[in-house]
Amino acid sequence: MADEITTVAYYVGMIPDKPGEGVKALNAIKDAGINLTGYLGYPKARKAEVILIVDEKAPPLGPIAKKAGLALPKKGKAFFVNGEDRPGALAEVMGKISAAGINIKTVHALCAGAGRWGALISVEAADLKKAAKALGI
């Protein structure tokens, strides 16, 4: 079975690094009826950086997150890959991008269990169309 590759939107914001702050933002998104494709969080200078990933067609998260006290000033596009887990799955996808002469900016990949894997791969905005073509989407 071939990997499924789609374009997603992601938002980057900062929240206080305190218990419950991430849950408050997640609940605001849930209450708006938006299903997240992914959520990443990292400590950063006494705060926490969060990355919220949604389907490209989802309503903008900025106004929704603002109600929960989360400013999302950065929005970008990336590729979401998911498929059957196998040795070299990520290397195959990254190889297609690098063969097109495109540098990969970030990668977050995990095994999803039940024989599945997924990854969020970003490239510079100027390279999005060329990378999409290299990935066959």
Same domain assignment for residues 82 and 41? no
State percent of the chain over pLDDT 90. Answer: 75
| Residue 46, CA distances (Å) to 16, 42, 49 in order | 7, 10, 10
The answer to whether residue 3 sits within a structural domain is no
Same domain assignment for residues 116 and 63? no
Same domain assignment for residues 15 and 67? yes
Same domain assignment for residues 19 and 68? yes
Domain that holds residue 70: 10-75
pLDDT tens digits along 87-122: 999 999 999 999 999 999 999 999 989 999 999 999
Q: How many CB atoms lie within 10 A of CB 124?
A: 13
Q: The domain spanning residue 100 has which CATH number?
A: 3.30.70.260
> Model's pTM, two decimal places?
0.90
